[in-house]
Amino acid sequence: MSAYDTLLAEAAGRPFAAIVGWPVGHSRSPALHGFWLKQHHIDGHYGRLPVKPMRAALEELVTFLKSTPNARGCNLTLPHKIEILPLLDRIDPVVKRVRHGIERPRQIADLVMPP
């Protein structure tokens, strides 16, 4: 079963988002976001997607997110935040200002897929 299949199974038809990185198994983001989804009675899922930092793997990620109706987006770890920029349909103006001098990578907006 692929990481994408695992995420879809965990989401069980609900809207979902995920933390994307390599490695990503150690991330506490799913627990944190899962807590707030429950706290606010939001029927959704936040999972993990281990994606190698390679262009082909990032292209597969973008294709998966765009073609999966329940996908709401993802958060990216470094170096994914930088390497995915050429693959995006649009880039937030904040990202454009900091992408050449990534001294504060947390300012990079999370990937949000277009509707």
Question: What pLDDT shows up at residue 111?
Answer: 41
Give the pLDDT confidence of 86-103 residue by residue, as tens digits.
888 887 777 666 655 444
Residue 23 belongs to domain with CATH number: 3.40.50.10860
Residue 57 forms part of a structural domain: yes
3-class SS letters over the chain: CCHHHHHHHHHCCCCEEEEEECCCCCCCHHHHHHHHHHHCCCCCEEEEEECCCCHHHHHHHHHHHHHCCCEEEEEECCCHHHHCHHHCCCCCHHHHHHCCCCCCHHHCCCCCCCC
Which of 52, 66, 81, 96 is catalytic? The answer is: 81
Residue 14 forms part of a structural domain: yes
Give the pLDDT confidence of 72-85 residue by residue, as tens digits.
989 998 888 888 88
Q: How many domains are contained in the chain?
A: 1
Whole-model pTM: value is 0.80
Per the annotation, the verdict on 81 as an active-site residue is: yes
Residue 46 forms part of a structural domain: yes
Q: Give the structural domain span for 13.
A: 3-107
